[in-house]
């Protein structure tokens, strides 16, 4: 049997005007924060540079890392693929995983909040994530215009990445 190994990840940088996800994180990396990182020795641990966008992440094990996008603003992979249905507010913490939608298990309540399934008892204190707060926008990464069947296939593929 031949096993596959990841030999390199290209660190593909995607500019803001293409990705359109929240700008706050890349915006905080400027000459001042880079200088401070140097002063505390943090620059020996990460390679940081000022830019205007994000690097596409490796999707290996993505099924286990909800919520999604760099700011954790999207509760499931299904919502990532259905941008128009991403919830404005959702609970996170002590949640159960949903293996069909892939991510935080929940449902939309009458106020439009993505809440834990009826009767579910979180095992740690949950936090209400509100995408209207600064740095928490759930916009962008909306260019997957595939059919519903195509999105379903992508979701199944990401489960085994
Ligand atoms: C089949 C199409 C695609 C799928 C299924 C997909 C999937 C994903 C997923 C699941 C994430 C979230 C990763 C995480 O939270 O750790 C992500 C983020 C990202 N993807 Fe894609 N992607 C696709 C197409 C693309 C394309 C075409 C580009 C480049 C133009 C791209 C660039 C990025 C970038 C830069 C991020 C990070 C964005 C952020 O966190 O703000 N993706 N992608």
Cross-strand pairs, 123:
none
Task: Quote the ligand 1 centre to 76 CA distance (angstroms).
Answer: 13
Q: What is the DSSP string of 53-89?
A: EEEPPP-TTGGGS-SBTTTT-BSBHHHHH-GGG--SE
Tokens, residue 55: 């690097």
Determine the pLDDT at residue 46.
85
Atom of ligand 1 at shortest range from CA of 12:
35
Determine the pLDDT at residue 1.
65
pLDDT per residue, tens digit, the chain (161 aa), is 667 776 777 788 999 999 999 999 999 999 999 999 999 999 999 888 899 999 999 999 999 999 999 999 999 999 999 999 999 999 999 999 999 999 999 999 999 999 999 999 999 999 999 999 999 999 999 987 789 999 999 999 999 97
Ligand 1 and 54: CB distance under 6 A: yes
Ligand 1 and 24: CB distance under 6 A: no
Atom of ligand 1 at shortest range from CA of 74:
15
């Amino acid at each position: 049997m031949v096993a596959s190994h990841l030999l390199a990840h290209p660190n593909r940088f995607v500019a803001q005007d293409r990705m359109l996800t929240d700008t706050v994180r890349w915006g905080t990396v400027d000459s001042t924060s880079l200088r401070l990182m140097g002063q505390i020795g943090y620059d020996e641990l990460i390679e940081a540079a000022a830019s205007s966008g994000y690097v596409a992440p490796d999707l290996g094990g993505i099924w286990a890392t909800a919520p999604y996008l760099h700011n954790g603003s999207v509760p499931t992979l299904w919502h990532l693929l259905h941008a128009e249905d991403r919830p404005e507010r959702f609970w996170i913490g002590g949640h159960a995983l949903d293996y069909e939608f892939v991510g935080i298990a929940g449902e939309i309540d009458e106020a439009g909040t993505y809440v834990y399934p009826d009767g579910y008892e979180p095992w740690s204190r949950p936090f209400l994530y509100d995408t209207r707060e600064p740095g928490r926008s759930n916009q962008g990464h909306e260019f997957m215009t595939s059919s519903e069947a195509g999105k379903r296939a992508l979701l199944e593929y990401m489960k085994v990445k």
